[in-house]
Every structure is written in structure tokens, then in C-alpha cells.
Amino acid sequence: MRVNVTYSVQLTEIRQIVQELLLKIEDDVEQINELFPAIQESINKEQESKAVQMIEACRQNIVNLDHALFDSKNILNGYQQATLQLRNIAAKGTKEENNNAEGG
């Protein structure tokens, strides 16, 4: 069962967190790539039940991969929104400083 966990981190940590998720995704992709030849070999050897088990393992890896990609996308979307807000705040502050300097 999957659950969503929410916790706060420093904005500067976001890239590292996503990189770690991507490494996990890469592991899942490698496992999927390793399963395909083994599945084909099992089918050639008429070991259908073994092939079915490996296909199910492959499907589970694909599910894990999809969840991790979805999480990565959501984290990066949140990161983009936060950095955009910070840029807008900084731009607004600069504009107000310029207005005060001109009016003062």
C-alpha cells in the first residue's frame, strides 16, 4: 500500500531529493531490462509459470517507476512554483526600492 508523506525541507535540498528518486527509477529500469531476456528464455523453455511470475515482477517495477516519476514531477512542479514566487517577491522589492529612491 502506498501513502503520501508530507514533510518540509530546505528549498536547496529539492534537487538532491529528486536526484535520489531518479536513481531509484534508474534501478527499476535496469531490473525491467534484465527481466525481458529472462522472460523470453522461460517462454522458449516452455516454463510459462516462471514467465508469468517474471512478467508480474516486471509490471510491479513499472508501477514503481510510474509512481517515482509522478512524485518527481510533482516535487519539481512545487519547486518551480516556489522559485517563481521568490523571484516575484525579489522583483517587487527591487521595484519598490527604485520607486522609493526616485521619490525620495
Tens of pLDDT, residue by residue over 58-81, are 999 999 899 999 999 999 999 999
98 pLDDT higher than 80: no
Mean pLDDT of the chain: 90
Does residue 80 form part of some domain? yes
Q: Where does the pLDDT of residue 24 fall: very low under 50, low under 70, confident under 90, or very high at 90 and above?
A: confident
Residue 47 cell numbers, joined: 516454463
Q: Three-state SS for 45?
A: coil
104 pLDDT higher than 60: no
**Mean pLDDT throughout 24-46?**
93
Does residue 58 form part of some domain? yes
Residue 55 cell numbers, joined: 512478467
* The pLDDT of residue 103: 64
Does residue 75 form part of some domain? yes
Q: Total structural domains in the chain?
A: 1
Considering only CA atoms, which of 80, 87, 71, 86 is closest in space to residue 17?
71
Does residue 92 form part of some domain? yes
Other C-beta atoms closer than 10 Å to the C-beta of 55 total 15
Range of the domain at 61: 14-103
